[in-house]
């Protein structure tokens, strides 16, 4: 893996070609101060970028073009041309081409990440309705990266400076959530959450809250018993192993009363349970991070936003923060690796002391 300790090379995928992704990329990297922190490589085509650059004329966006990762300009924004095809662009419209080339961008960028030509990746939003193609049999980015990197398990984690919310289940129907929540699943997700909080966020002893599945966390079994039979036994198991894991909590009261401020992270049982609260509190500034991978991948916490695409009104704050967080996570992971590379065991210290005496 190529990890540039001085100036990381960060891959950027376009997301849906007709969504807000290209506009956000242009607005974000028009601020040349970012080029001092990293070398961006946008996986797209010159024609795509030029099209959207004309829609944001007040932003000065300069780039160099390449088809060779060994020929990057480290002092400029680089466009890595993934295709030469003439693609009809229709901002705000869900089209087959918009999804097809979004996946092309993602596939090429991810392969470069696997090959060590990138240090990390920031992904713009895709839309599930036009990415369900034979080359991409996934419900989103998270399961795709799990498959691509052969991870045993991964964890969708959304966060900002106020809270971190992880999901036990992701993009599955509500009708399948209860049967998917098992002790084995929760153990895996909690281990991943604990590990990423330590390794990627620098928290030596993280405090984690676990939400219940049913209303009022089951009301002592009156509204479902998953809390008693599945969730609480796992919480007790982690507590017995000297971990700061608590719950299960009733989700509505947990967010409404501000209980999240007492924890380093929250594990929600399903998508909307965690993300309604998170997105309300994050106010558009959240980051989506895939924990459990050997690489760093971040993205903004919003979707393709077809309703405003091409109108030059998309706000780049979340995408810009995804870039900043990508760099912070890289630095934190490097520091953790350096600090734990050659730990001295306690027994060795005591042996050396006895020898000296």
DSSP state of 345: P
Q: Which distant-in-sequence residues (6+ apart) come within 8 Å of 279 by Cβ?
A: 286, 301
Give the pLDDT confidence of 62-104 residue by residue, as tens digits.
Answer: 999 999 999 999 999 999 999 999 999 999 999 999 999 999 9
Query: 288: which strand partners?
Result: 158, 299
pLDDT band at 355 (very low <50, low <70, confident <90, very high): low
Hey, what domains does the chain have and what are their CATH numbers? 1-151+293-357 (3.40.718.10), 154-286 (3.40.718.10)
Give CA torsion, residues 65, 22, 155, 317, to 10 deg: 110
Indicate whether 357 pLDDT > 60.
no
pLDDT band at 344 (very low <50, low <70, confident <90, very high): low
Give the pLDDT confidence of 234-290 residue by residue, as tens digits.
Answer: 999 999 999 999 999 999 999 999 999 999 999 999 999 999 999 888 876 789 999
Distance (Å, whole) CA 271 – CA 276: 8
Quick one: which of 36, 193, 218, 14 has its CA closest to 99? 14
% of the chain residues with pLDDT over 90: 84
pLDDT band at 3 (very low <50, low <70, confident <90, very high): very low
pLDDT number for residue 132: 83
Indicate whether 5 pLDDT > 60.
no
Average pLDDT, the chain: 92
* Ordered DSSP codes for 103-152: HHHHHHHHHHHHTTS-SEEEE----GGG--BTTB-SSSHHHHHHHHTT-S
Instruction: Describe the crossing of helices 96-114 and 141-148 by its angle, rounded to 10 degrees.
Output: 40
Least confident span in 11-25, 112-126, 338-352:
338-352
Distance (Å, whole) CA 311 – CA 333: 38
Average pLDDT (39-57) is: 95
Quick one: which of 140, 136, 49 has its CA closest to 89? 49
Indicate whether 166 pLDDT > 50.
yes
Average pLDDT (129-152) is: 92
Instruction: Describe the crossing of helices 183-199 and 232-240 by its angle, rounded to 10 degrees.
Output: 50
pLDDT number for residue 110: 97
Average pLDDT (166-173) is: 95
Give the pLDDT confidence of 99-134 residue by residue, as tens digits.
Answer: 999 999 999 999 999 999 999 999 999 998 999 888
Give CA torsion, residues 193, 197, 199, 201, to 10 deg: 140
Q: Do 14 and 101 meet the contact criterion of CB atoms below 8 Å apart?
A: yes
pTM (predicted TM-score): 0.90
Which run of H or of E encompasses 258? none
Cis before residue 248, ω within 30 degrees of 0?
A: yes
pLDDT band at 341 (very low <50, low <70, confident <90, very high): confident
Indicate whether 139 pLDDT > 70.
yes
Contacts of 223-232 with CB under 8 Å at 24 or more apart are 224/178, 226/178, 226/181, 230/181, 230/182, 230/183, 230/186, 231/181, 231/186, 231/269
pLDDT band at 1 (very low <50, low <70, confident <90, very high): very low
pLDDT number for residue 350: 57
pLDDT number for residue 2: 45
């Amino acid at each position: 893996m190529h990890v540039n300790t001085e100036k990381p090379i960060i891959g950027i995928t376009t997301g849906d070609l007709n969504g807000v992704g290209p506009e956000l990329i242009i607005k974000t990297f028009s601020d040349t101060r970012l080029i001092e922190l990293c070398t961006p490589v946008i996986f797209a085509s010159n024609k795509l970028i030029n099209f959207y650059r004309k829609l944001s004329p007040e932003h000065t966006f300069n780039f160099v073009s390449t088809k060779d990762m060994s020929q990057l300009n480290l002092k400029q924004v680089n466009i890595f041309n993934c295709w030469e095809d003439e693609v009809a662009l229709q901002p705000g419209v869900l089209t087959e081409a918009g999804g097809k080339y979004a996946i092309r961008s993602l596939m090429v960028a991810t392969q470069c990440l696997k090959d060590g030509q990138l240090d990390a990746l920031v992904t713009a939003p895709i839309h599930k309705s036009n990415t369900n193609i034979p080359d991409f049999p996934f419900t989103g980015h998270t399961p795709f990266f799990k498959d691509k990197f052969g991870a045993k398990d991964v964890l969708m984690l959304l966060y900002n400076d106020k809270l971190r919310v992880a999901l036990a289940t992701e993009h599955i129907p509500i009708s399948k959530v209860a049967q998917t929540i098992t002790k084995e699943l929760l153990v895996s997700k909690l281990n991943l959450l604990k590990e990423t909080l330590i390794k990627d966020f620098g928290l030596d002893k993280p405090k984690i809250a676990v939400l219940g599945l049913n209303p009022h966390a089951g009301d002592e079994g009156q509204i479902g018993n998953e809390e008693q039979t599945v969730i609480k036994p796992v919480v007790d198991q982690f507590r017995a192993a000297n971990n700061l894991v608590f719950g299960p909590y009733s989700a509505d009261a947990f967010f409404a009363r501000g209980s999240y401020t007492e924890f380093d992270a929250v594990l929600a049982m399903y998508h909307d349970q965690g993300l309604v609260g998170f997105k309300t509190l994050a106010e558009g500034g959240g980051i989506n991070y895939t924990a459990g991978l050997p690489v760093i991948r971040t993205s903004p916490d919003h979707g393709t936003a077809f309703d405003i695409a091409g109108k030059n009104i998309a706000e780049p704050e979340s995408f810009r923060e995804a870039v900043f967080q990508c760099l912070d996570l890289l630095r934190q992971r490097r520091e953790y690796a350096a600090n734990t590379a050659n730990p001295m065991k306690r027994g060795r210290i005591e042996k050396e002391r006895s020898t000296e005496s």
